[in-house]
Amino acid sequence: MNKLSIINEIDEMMETYCEGCFVRKQIRKEQGKTAAHRFCISECSIGSQLQFLGNELNKVGTEHK
Protein backbone atom coordinates (compact mmCIF):
# COMPACT_ATOMS: atom_id res chain seq x y z
CA MET A 1 0.00 0.00 0.00
CA ASN A 2 1.35 3.42 -0.85
CA LYS A 3 0.95 6.64 1.08
CA LEU A 4 -1.65 8.18 -1.23
CA SER A 5 -3.89 5.11 -1.22
CA ILE A 6 -3.80 4.99 2.60
CA ILE A 7 -4.71 8.68 2.82
CA ASN A 8 -7.55 8.18 0.35
CA GLU A 9 -8.86 5.21 2.34
CA ILE A 10 -8.77 7.23 5.58
CA ASP A 11 -10.64 10.12 3.92
CA GLU A 12 -13.26 7.78 2.46
CA MET A 13 -13.84 6.05 5.80
CA MET A 14 -14.18 9.34 7.66
CA GLU A 15 -16.61 10.74 5.09
CA THR A 16 -18.67 7.55 5.06
CA TYR A 17 -18.77 6.69 8.76
CA CYS A 18 -17.57 9.59 10.92
CA GLU A 19 -19.26 12.63 9.41
CA GLY A 20 -22.76 12.66 10.80
CA CYS A 21 -22.11 9.87 13.32
CA PHE A 22 -25.03 10.00 15.74
CA VAL A 23 -23.16 8.25 18.57
CA ARG A 24 -20.24 10.70 18.42
CA LYS A 25 -22.61 13.69 18.25
CA GLN A 26 -24.62 12.43 21.22
CA ILE A 27 -21.57 11.73 23.39
CA ARG A 28 -20.10 15.11 22.48
CA LYS A 29 -23.37 16.82 23.40
CA GLU A 30 -23.77 14.98 26.73
CA GLN A 31 -20.18 14.51 27.89
CA GLY A 32 -18.03 16.83 25.80
CA LYS A 33 -15.50 16.73 23.02
CA THR A 34 -12.88 14.76 24.94
CA ALA A 35 -15.30 11.95 25.81
CA ALA A 36 -16.43 11.71 22.19
CA HIS A 37 -12.83 11.54 21.01
CA ARG A 38 -12.06 8.87 23.61
CA PHE A 39 -15.05 6.83 22.42
CA CYS A 40 -13.92 7.02 18.80
CA ILE A 41 -10.40 5.91 19.68
CA SER A 42 -11.14 3.17 22.18
CA GLU A 43 -14.59 1.76 21.44
CA CYS A 44 -15.55 2.45 17.82
CA SER A 45 -14.61 -0.20 15.25
CA ILE A 46 -14.11 2.49 12.60
CA GLY A 47 -11.79 4.35 14.98
CA SER A 48 -9.73 1.17 15.37
CA GLN A 49 -9.46 0.81 11.60
CA LEU A 50 -8.44 4.45 11.29
CA GLN A 51 -5.73 3.92 13.92
CA PHE A 52 -4.46 0.90 11.98
CA LEU A 53 -4.33 2.91 8.76
CA GLY A 54 -2.57 5.75 10.57
CA ASN A 55 0.07 3.31 11.80
CA GLU A 56 0.46 1.96 8.26
CA LEU A 57 0.85 5.52 7.00
CA ASN A 58 3.60 6.11 9.56
CA LYS A 59 5.38 2.94 8.42
CA VAL A 60 5.23 4.02 4.77
CA GLY A 61 6.50 7.47 5.72
CA THR A 62 9.56 6.07 7.51
CA GLU A 63 10.47 3.51 4.83
CA HIS A 64 11.56 6.21 2.39
CA LYS A 65 13.92 7.96 4.80
pLDDT of residue 60: 86
Q: 64 pLDDT exceeds 70?
A: no
Q: 62 pLDDT exceeds 80?
A: no
Q: 65 pLDDT exceeds 80?
A: no
Dist CA 36 CA 23 (whole Å): 8
pLDDT digit string, tens, across residues 8-58: 999 999 999 999 999 999 999 999 999 999 999 999 999 999 999 999 999
How many domains does the structure of the chain reveal? 1
Dist CA 61 CA 47 (whole Å): 21
* 43: containing domain: 3-63
